[in-house]
Amino acid sequence: MSETGPNPGDKAPAFKMAASGGREVSSAKLKGKPYLLYFYPKADTPGCTKQACGIQEALPALGKLELTVIGVSPDAMPPIEKFAAKYKLEFPLASDPEHKVAEAYGVWVEKSMYGKKYMGMERSSFLVGADGKVKAVWRKVKPEAHAAAVLEAAKGL
């Protein structure tokens, strides 16, 4: 695994997090099943909303491919629950407030806005096969086109 997180072919880092709808998501529960772990900076912001709604629209097609989708942000559960309810998001949105999972995947990175540097979540996704290995990685994801790219890659699982 590189210091920037797992690459295709690498074993996906393990995780366990609280998620929307009173759920808990974990790599152990997903053993033997393919899944998409997508990281987004903040619930209910324009880009994150576009991305989540795009994935929600693609959910029936992704479901046919038996792909589980999990969104991950550093937000606490209350804003995540509100975001999920507002947009009727059926897939789990997980909370990673200490960014342990984000760091394991190399997506807790230094960002810059208006000349100020700060640490934050890089919008990235990891497609993991039923064998627990990373099949595809998307960095600096464009929210509008993401669901289509994931769907295309998932067909090859």
Distance CA 106, CA 5 (A): 4
Residue 6's φ and ψ, nearest 5 degrees, are -70, 150
Cβ atoms within 10 Å of 14's Cβ, excluding its own = 11
Active site (annotated) includes residue 48: yes
Query: Could you say which of 48, 69, 84, 147 is catalytic?
Result: 48
| Active-site amino acid positions | 48
